[in-house]
């Protein structure tokens, strides 16, 4: 009796130990929960995460899941400043499971830059569907600068991490720069230079952007801003 009990117990214990990492790692995605959370975010970042007010609110749609999660945790821990979002990212408001859900949700939104042409007089034209599609559009306004010079600099200095066309790198959790508002990007450059944000989490002491003049960054941003034209 004793031996069997102990054996069973040992089996149960081993099973628990095996299952523990799974419980810790696996997060069951709950899209309905994500949709509900997004209603809060949409108050500033718009319904499909397009952002707005010329970049006062950045685009958050289509950013890498891991990047989104990291930023939300940084906001929560007050390691990245963001006054407007403070109350929305407190642990009580946004526990880890919510951060996981909303990060997956937002990372899967694909924004178009143009609507395909359609014949609105054709039979079967669905005006409502077209309107919904139009809501998912986002075009970054062109910013001033020498795009040729910007392209050269970008390819030499930024491409290795931010991708060939500035669309970021999901696997490496690097955000897009193309398709993001230029004014928002400038604000982040200032945050990096002031040490309020860390540019490269793998090399926190690296001050990459310090080596660039204002005009060089202006040209890089000008080239990025026409990538979605
Ligand atoms: C009251 C307005 C407001 C609400 C609501 C809000 N945000 Fe934000 N969010 C901002 C502002 C402003 C910034 C830009 C901060 C900065 O300039 O560094 C920002 C930045 C971000 C960023 C960083 C983007 C990047 O490229 O690094 C993420 C991610 C983000 N918000 C996600 C969310 C999510 C998810 C929600 C909903 C849970 C949310 N936000 C709700 C105002 C808001
Ligand atoms: C070694 C890799 C690397 C290189 C090279 C690099 N970046 Fe980054 N960059 C990153 C990472 C990683 C982040 C996200 C930081 C974080 O997680 O908070 C980032 C974020 C940014 C952001 C903020 C984006 C946002 O949505 O908030 C800007 C702006 C930026 N980089 C500009 C540049 C420019 C301009 C260059 C070229 C001159 C450049 N980066 C080169 C890795 C790099």
Domain count within the chain: 2
* Distance (Å, whole) CA 112 – CA 80: 29
Same domain, 40 and 92: yes
129 Cα: distance to centroid of ligand 1 (angstroms): 28
pLDDT band for 9, please (50, 70, 90 cuts).
Answer: low
Crossing angle (nearest 10°) for helices 31-45 and 96-107: 70
Nearest ligand to residue 83 Cα: 1
Same domain, 43 and 97: yes
pTM: 0.90
Same domain, 151 and 199: yes
Same domain, 159 and 103: no
229 alpha-carbon distance from chain centroid: 21
Tokens matching residue 217: 């960054």
11 Cα: distance to centroid of ligand 2 (angstroms): 49
211 Cα: distance to centroid of ligand 2 (angstroms): 14
- Give the SS3 label for residue 52: strand
Domain boundary among 84, 107, 130: 107
> Can you give the residue range of the structural domain that contains 49?
31-107
Judge whether 68 and 196 are in contact, CB under 8 Å.
no
Give 103-106's long-range contacts (Cβ < 8 A, gap of 24+): 103/65, 103/66, 103/68, 103/69, 103/72, 104/29, 104/34, 104/65, 105/31, 105/34, 105/35, 105/37, 105/38, 106/38, 106/41, 106/49, 106/60, 106/61, 106/62, 106/63, 106/68
Residue 16 placed within a domain: no
175 Cα: distance to centroid of ligand 2 (angstroms): 7
| Residue 214: pLDDT over 90 | yes
What atom in ligand 1 is closest to the CA of residue 72? 29
Residue 3 placed within a domain: no
**Could you tell which of 61, 73, 162 is best to mutate to test the pocket of ligand 2, judged by most ligand atoms within 8 Å of the CB?**
162
pLDDT at 206: 82
Tokens matching residue 139: 């075009």
Over residues 117-133, mean pLDDT: 90
Write down the mean pLDDT value for the chain: 91
**Number of other CB atoms surrounding residue 75 within 10 Å:** 19
CATH number of the domain to which 40 belongs: 1.10.760.10
């Amino acid at each position: 009796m004793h031996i069997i009990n102990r054996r069973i117990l040992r089996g149960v214990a081993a099973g628990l130990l095996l299952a523990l990492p799974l419980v810790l790692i696996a997060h069951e995605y709950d899209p309905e929960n994500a949709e509900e959370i997004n209603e809060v975010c949409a108050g500033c970042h718009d319904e499909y995460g397009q952002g707005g007010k010329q970049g006062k609110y950045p685009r958050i749609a289509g950013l890498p899941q891991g990047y989104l999660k990291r930023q939300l945790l940084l906001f929560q821990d007050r390691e990245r400043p963001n006054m407007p979002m403070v109350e929305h990212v407190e642990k009580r408001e946004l526990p880890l499971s919510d951060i996981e859900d909303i990060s997956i949700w937002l990372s899967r939104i694909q924004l178009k830059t143009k609507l395909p042409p359609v014949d609105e007089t054709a039979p079967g034209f669905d005006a409502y569907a077209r309107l919904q599609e139009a809501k998912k559009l986002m075009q970054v306004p062109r910013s001033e600068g020498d795009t040729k010079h910007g392209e050269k600099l970008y390819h030499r200095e930024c491409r290795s991490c931010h991708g060939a066309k500035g669309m970021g790198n999901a696997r490496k959790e690097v955000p897009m720069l193309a398709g993001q508002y230029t004014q928002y990007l400038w604000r982040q450059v200032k945050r990096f230079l002031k040490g309020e944000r860390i540019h490269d989490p793998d090399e926190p002491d690296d001050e990459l952007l310090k080596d660039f003049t204002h005009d060089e960054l202006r040209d890089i941003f000008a080239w990025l801003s026409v990538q979605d034209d």
